[in-house]
């Protein structure tokens, strides 16, 4: 007998025909979609009455930094990218314990599940070079949460083995804004051989874990922080294990060029192309500061893009040229990025923000449609991760990663065109049930993988965050006072 039927719903399939099935039902067996249709549903061992709701594929986050969620709540305000990097991200994660990492991952995943996210790409790192033993324990603690949660996670272990000498002055100047902190810039990198060995060990221990829901891949931080040998090693490791290679790319003017000491320098895209790093496995996050040549090269090599509009807006990094990338044929998904640079773990927020930013910056209300935003959140996000044959649409044989929306709220009405209603009117709080491999990770709005009450989790997160701020010497960030005009 069929394991599960979800019925009395509208199905938004995101299949090739982008079918919408009213009075629909979805049948699941052995973790996969067995059948779907309209009208009378088949019998099943379990039935979920959708009560007139909407069902669509689970949403895919193609770029995030999961454990950094303990650094949100105002610490990040009014800072540009590199100011935020040294004074919030690197400083804060240098003080994380393995227990902090597990707690942060649990908090992030509980928020993600409540927002209908079923697949997360985590660019993971905790100030890699200061204490290799601590880093290994933190990684193991994070992956332990992923394996028990039931969600689908791509774990990209970030690493850096070099840094431009020209950056020392600017990073030092930013660090002077918060002199009490304990960050040592010399600890941000690690020897290449050691980094690759640690990533290989994580792959051996965790790649394919949790019935294939967890995968592990190398994630060089950005072109300027990885030597040519590091980039080559990451590419070869990904090819050997069939993974993507997440990397931050052209997020700001400072990291959009290499060798600035030579004058105009060399574009980061050209540099990666010279090293044979551009290929279909490269998952380039941000891609804000691109020119036409960059876009042509990314398209020609089938590089995938992770668009993070909320983060790019909050850090004033700029607006990625998504309409031009899409027109060139580049696949782009959406990412929530850091929870302390987007404030929420919600692809629903990113869909809306992506559409708004594209319309505003292109002076064109049709620059990014609601339909395309939904594609980026689902099937295009799956394609960016090389998973489009398994997830991203509701089709027979695909994994049953599914989101059920409660549409009883007043903000759902009136509604005429469902994609626009979901992108511009729906809220994360409308997510009622989330399935991954046909099993509920969210049931009647409550995560199924929590080992404690949500209120206790939230209180623990608050206490842990306060302790991290103290250990990292970041207390100066709290002495902000009321700033109607920023002094940061």
Where does the pLDDT of residue 469 fall: very low under 50, low under 70, confident under 90, or very high at 90 and above? very high
Enclosing H/E stretch for 203: helix 192-206
Q: Quick one: pLDDT at residue 375?
A: 98
Report helix angle 98-114 to 132-149, nearest 10: 30
168 in the same domain as 130: yes
* Distance between CA atoms of residues 342 and 216, nearest Å: 24
Is the alpha carbon torsion for 319, 323, 326, 327 positive or negative? negative
* Distance between CA atoms of residues 220 and 410, nearest Å: 45
Q: Give domain status of residue 428, yes or no.
A: yes
Enclosing H/E stretch for 273: helix 268-274
Average pLDDT rounded to a whole number, residues 12-35? 98
Find out whether 183 and 86 touch, Cβ atoms under 8 Å: yes
Q: Give domain status of residue 418, yes or no.
A: yes
Q: Give domain status of residue 382, yes or no.
A: no
217 in the same domain as 362: yes
257 in the same domain as 365: yes
Q: Quick one: pLDDT at residue 59?
A: 98
Q: Residue 286 carries which DSSP code? A: E
Q: Quick one: pLDDT at residue 470?
A: 95
Domain count within the chain: 2
224 in the same domain as 278: yes
Residue matched to tokens 């939230």: 458
CA dihedral of 137, 119, 213, 216, whole degrees rounded to 10? -50
Q: Quick one: pLDDT at residue 342?
A: 85
Q: Which two tokens stand for residue 378?
A: 């689902």
Q: Give domain status of residue 88, yes or no.
A: yes
167 in the same domain as 192: yes
Percent of the chain residues past pLDDT 70, beyond the cut: 99
**How do residues 33-45 score in pLDDT, each as one tens digit?**
999 999 999 999 9
* Distance between CA atoms of residues 248 and 80, nearest Å: 16
Nearest Cα to Cα of residue 297 among 317, 277, 318, 312: 277
Enclosing H/E stretch for 6: strand 2-12
Q: Give domain status of residue 388, yes or no.
A: no
The CA distances from residue 291 to 178, 246, 267, 359, 363, in Å, are 35, 21, 9, 19, 19
Q: Which two tokens stand for residue 68?
A: 């950094």
* Distance between CA atoms of residues 34 and 129, nearest Å: 47
274 in the same domain as 199: yes
Is the bond preceding 414 in cis, omega lying within 30 degrees of 0? yes
Q: Which two tokens stand for residue 359?
A: 């319309």
314 in the same domain as 292: yes
407 in the same domain as 306: no
pLDDT of 127 above 80: no
List the domain range (segments joined by +) for residue 424.
2-57+398-447
Q: What are residue 21's DSSP bridge partners?
A: 11
Q: Give domain status of residue 469, yes or no.
A: no
The CA distances from residue 211 to 296, 311, 459, in Å, are 38, 32, 32
* Distance between CA atoms of residues 219 and 199, nearest Å: 9
Find out whether 94 and 130 touch, Cβ atoms under 8 Å: yes
Q: Give domain status of residue 392, yes or no.
A: no
Q: Which two tokens stand for residue 328?
A: 């060139």
325 in the same domain as 282: yes
345 in the same domain as 368: yes
Find out whether 161 and 230 touch, Cβ atoms under 8 Å: yes
CATH code at 425? 2.30.40.10
Q: Give domain status of residue 254, yes or no.
A: yes
Q: Quick one: pLDDT at residue 129?
A: 56
**How do residues 157-172 score in pLDDT, each as one tens digit?**
999 999 888 888 888 8
Q: Which two tokens stand for residue 126?
A: 């905790």
**How do residues 353-394 score in pLDDT, each as one tens digit?**
999 999 999 999 999 999 999 999 999 999 999 999 999 999
- Cα Rg, the chain, nearest whole Å: 22
Average pLDDT rounded to a whole number, residues 461-482? 94
**How do residues 72-108 score in pLDDT, each as one tens digit?**
999 999 999 999 999 999 999 999 999 999 999 999 9
**How do residues 62-76 score in pLDDT, each as one tens digit?**
999 999 999 999 999
* Distance between CA atoms of residues 294 and 302, nearest Å: 12
């Amino acid at each position: 007998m069929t394991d599960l039927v979800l019925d009395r719903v509208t199905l938004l399939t995101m299949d090739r025909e982008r079918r919408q099935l009213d009075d629909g039902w979805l049948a699941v067996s052995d973790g996969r979609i067995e059948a779907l249709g309209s009208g009378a549903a088949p019998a099943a061992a379990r039935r979920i009455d959708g009560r007139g709701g909407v069902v669509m594929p689970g949403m895919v986050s193609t770029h995030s930094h999961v454990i950094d969620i303990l650094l949100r709540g105002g610490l990040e305000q009014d800072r540009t990218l590199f100011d935020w990097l040294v004074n919030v991200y690197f400083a804060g994660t240098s003080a994380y314990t393995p227990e902090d990492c597990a707690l942060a991952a649990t908090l992030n995943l509980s928020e993600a599940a409540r927002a209908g996210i079923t697949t997360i790409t985590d660019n993971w790192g905790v100030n890699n070079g200061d204490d290799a033993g601590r880093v290994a324990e933190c990684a193991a603690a994070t992956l332990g949460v992923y394996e028990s949660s039931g969600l689908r996670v791509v774990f990209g272990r970030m690493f850096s083995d070099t840094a431009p000498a020209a950056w020392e002055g600017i990073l030092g100047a930013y660090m002077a804004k918060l002199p009490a902190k304990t960050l040592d810039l010399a600890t941000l990198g690690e020897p290449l051989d050691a980094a690759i060995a640690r990533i290989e060990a994580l792959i051996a221990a965790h790649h394919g874990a949790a019935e294939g829901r967890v995968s592990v891949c190398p994630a060089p931080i950005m072109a300027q922080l990885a030597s040519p040998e590091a980039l080559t090693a990451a590419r070869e490791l990904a090819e050997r294990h069939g993974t993507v290679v997440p990397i931050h790319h052209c997020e700001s003017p400072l990291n959009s060029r290499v060798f600035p000491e030579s004058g105009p320098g060399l574009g980061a895209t050209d540099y990666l192309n010279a090293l044979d790093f551009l290929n279909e496995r490269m998952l380039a996050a941000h891609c804000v500061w691109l020119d036409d040549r960059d876009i042509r090269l990314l398209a020609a090599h089938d590089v995938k893009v992770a668009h993070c509009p909320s983060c790019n807006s909050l850090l004033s990094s700029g607006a990625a040229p998504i309409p031009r990338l899409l027109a060139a044929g580049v696949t782009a998904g959406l990412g929530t990025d850091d929870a302390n640079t987007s404030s929420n773990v919600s692809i629903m927020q990113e869909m809306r923000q992506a559409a708004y930013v594209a319309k505003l910056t292109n002076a064109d209300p049709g620059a990014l449609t609601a339909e395309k935003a939904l594609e980026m959140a689902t099937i295009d996000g799956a394609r960016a991760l090389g998973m489009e044959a398994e997830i991203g649409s509701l089709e027979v044989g695909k994994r049953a990663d599914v989101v059920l929306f409660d549409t009883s709220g007043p903000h759902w009405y009136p509604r005429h065109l469902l994609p626009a209603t979901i992108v511009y009117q729906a809220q994360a709080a409308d997510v009622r049930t989330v399935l991954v491999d046909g099993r509920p990770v969210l049931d009647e709005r409550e995560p199924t993988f929590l080992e404690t009450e949500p209120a206790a989790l939230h209180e623990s997160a608050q206490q842990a965050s306060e302790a991290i701020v103290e250990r990292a010497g970041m207390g100066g960030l709290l002495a902000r006072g009321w700033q109607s005009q920023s002094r940061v």
